[in-house]
Amino acid sequence: MFNKSLIKNILLYGIIAGLLTLTYCLVLANLGSVPLDGKKAPTIVLSLICMVLSVKAYRKNNPDQTLHFWEGLVVSNLTNLVGAFVSAIGLYFWLSGSGNYVLSTYISESIQTLQIPSVKDGYIKEMGGLSFMQLIQGFRDLSPKNIATDEITGLKGKLPLGILISIMISLYYRRGYIN
């Protein structure tokens, strides 16, 4: 059964993961790069490290330093979820800030990339002109709320990727109880 360190480990390492993600994004922005979409992908490694540390700390606090698979799965997934919520809330407020150029720069760069003749022609050939116009309009309508939601549940979000990672972490750190 879960021990007393469950909530403490989840909150501690989850908040650290979220803050590390925000720090990474702020550093990239200060270096002149737009820390959204693919450039934010390395933050899953930061979450992975915090998930591992959370599971290790939880297992260490068990009386005989054992861990069932499902305990590791719960601890690592909840740690990842807390980290995703912290980073999503931070990104939302950061991107909502007045005078923030990051989101507008990301939108304009994305639309410029889509307007490159070879990209545009290839997309229209594969998906159609109406789909291309909907894609452009989707970028124009992008808001901090969309970025924050995508941080948690999007295709490249922390939750879907974290589930796969947590299975591997749980398999690695599980240790059966001694009879």
Q: What value does the CA radius of gyration of the chain take, rounded to a whole number of Å? A: 20
* Structural contact between residues 47 and 55, judged by C-beta atoms closer than 8 angstroms: no
Q: Which residue has the tokens 């390395």?
A: 42
165 contact partners, CB below 8 Å, separation of at least 6: 44, 47, 48, 51, 76, 80
Residue 22 confidence (pLDDT): 93
Residue 176 confidence (pLDDT): 57
Q: Six-digit token pair at 112?
A: 């410029």
> Mind listing the pLDDT tens digit for each residue in 100-152?
788 888 888 888 988 888 888 888 888 888 888 998 898 898 888 988 888 88
Residue 24 confidence (pLDDT): 93
Residue 23 confidence (pLDDT): 94
Q: Which residue has the tokens 């050939």?
A: 125
> Mind listing the pLDDT tens digit for each residue in 23-78?
999 999 888 888 887 788 888 899 999 999 999 998 888 777 778 888 889 999 99
C-alpha span between 15 and 33 (Å, rounded): 25
How does residue 179 score in pLDDT terms, banded at 50, 70 and 90? very low
